[in-house]
């Protein structure tokens, strides 16, 4: 899709109903979640889902996450085991995606799951997302609302900068409070971390009473992803990114963490990982707009720091 007039909708009842109408008509509408803005399409409409891949320039082998309004809707689409039900009860609505066996009669477009027998599914916490999903009354496929591989959007302005003229509407509800994509858990056969994200791994392990297996430990090199966010180069700014930088080099901008007098922007001067996660993509957008290399301070590898480091590592990877 290209050269369309992109409507900017306020997060009012009128705007939400208009976004739902666009989805019912086979169009694309970006909407806020607590994690990042998603680019939504009717998950049962193959033509609409295909437009997501076209608008984003996303590889067709990269599966999408389905957003639902209720656990009942999720169970109509996917088969839940005991661990999945336990996690849904504890953390839905919230920043958690579960990859589960797809029900044969789920009626989703095969493009959603990239031909896999599983589907990633989530019940978001953001009130505007919940109102939109309730108004639409069906599953909505929604990856992040940005060009594929670029920095994820945490505001309507970020969405417009990348996708204006390529999608039908953007539902604007301000900044996303979590600022990192959802944590993704699979069950094949053990409960496995497929992508770290806005829900700390430690909270999930406490809920399950067991350690999560690691997808990366058993991953086949160059294998197609079985969940979003697994491509080596992803979430990338245009500028070069240098990680674990304690000093800056000539011409670099500094993205700091903790007390840091050299930082041009600081994810959290107090060293708060929740604050850092919420600021990560927003600050990368702001620094990237200055057309200079970016040096990033070390981030502790614990709690949400695991997800922040995952995003930064992919953002700094060599570009395809």
Instruction: For domain 241-316, give the fold.
Output: Rossmann fold (3.40.50)
CATH no. for 7-218:
3.90.870.10
Predicted confidence (pLDDT) per residue in 127-168, tens digit: 999 999 999 999 999 999 999 888 999 999 999 999 999 999
As a whole number of angstroms, the distance between CA 20 and CA 67 comes to 13
CA dihedral 189, 94, 126, 36 (to 10 degrees): -60
Predicted confidence (pLDDT) per residue in 263-308, tens digit: 999 999 999 999 998 899 889 999 999 999 999 999 999 988 988 9
pLDDT at 206 over 70: yes
Q: Report which DSSP code applies to 269.
A: T
Burial of 318 (0-12, 13-18, 19+ CB in 10 A): exposed
pLDDT band at 314 (very low <50, low <70, confident <90, very high): confident
What pLDDT was estimated at residue 58? 80
As a whole number of angstroms, the distance between CA 160 and CA 155 comes to 9
User: What residue ranges of the chain are covered by domains with CATH 3.40.50.11030?
Assistant: 241-316
Weakest-pLDDT range from 200-204, 271-275, 309-313: 309-313
User: What residue ranges of the chain are covered by domains with CATH 3.90.870.10?
Assistant: 7-218
pLDDT at 319 over 80: no
Burial of 301 (0-12, 13-18, 19+ CB in 10 A): exposed
What pLDDT was estimated at residue 59? 74
The Cβ of residue 277 has, within 10 Å, a number of other Cβ atoms equal to 27
Weakest-pLDDT range from 55-59, 95-99, 259-263: 55-59
pLDDT at 98 over 70: yes
pTM, 2 dp: 0.86
**Is the omega angle on the peptide bond into residue 138 within 30 degrees of 0, that is, cis?**
no
């Amino acid at each position: 899709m290209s050269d369309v007039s992109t409507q900017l909708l306020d997060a009012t009842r009128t705007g939400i109903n208009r976004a739902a109408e666009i989805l019912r008509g086979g169009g694309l509408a970006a909407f806020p979640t607590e994690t990042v803005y998603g680019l939504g399409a009717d998950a049962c409409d193959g033509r609409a889902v295909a437009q997501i891949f076209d608008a984003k320039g996303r590889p067709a082998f990269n599966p999408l996450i389905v957003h639902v309004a209720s656990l009942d809707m999720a169970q109509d689409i996917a088969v839940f085991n005991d661990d999945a039900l336990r996690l849904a009860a504890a953390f839905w609505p919230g920043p958690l995606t579960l990859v589960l066996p797809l029900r044969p009669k789920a009626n989703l477009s095969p493009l959603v799951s990239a031909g896999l027998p599983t589907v990633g599914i989530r019940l978001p916490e953001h009130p505007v997302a919940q109102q939109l999903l309730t108004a639409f009354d069906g599953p909505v496929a929604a990856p992040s609302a940005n060009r594929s591989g670029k920095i994820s959007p945490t505001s309507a302005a970020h969405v417009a900068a990348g996708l204006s003229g390529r999608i039908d509407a953007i539902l604007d509800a301000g900044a996303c409070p979590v600022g990192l994509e959802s944590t993704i858990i699979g069950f094949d056969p053990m409960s496995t971390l497929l992508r770290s994200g806005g829900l700390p791994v430690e909270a999930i392990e406490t809920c399950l009473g067991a350690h999560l297996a690691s997808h990366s430990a058993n991953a086949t090199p160059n294998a197609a992803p079985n969940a979003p966010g697994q491509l080596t180069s992803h979430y990338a700014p245009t500028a070069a990114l240098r990680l674990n930088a304690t000093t800056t080099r000539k011409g670099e901008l500094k993205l700091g963490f903790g007390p840091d007098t050299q930082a041009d922007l600081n994810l959290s001067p107090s060293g708060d990982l929740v604050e850092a996660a919420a600021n990560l993509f927003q600050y990368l957008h702001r620094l990237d707009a200055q057309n200079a290399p970016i040096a990033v301070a070390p981030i502790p590898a614990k709690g949400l720091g695991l997800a922040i480091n995952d995003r930064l590592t992919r953002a700094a990877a060599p570009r395809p």
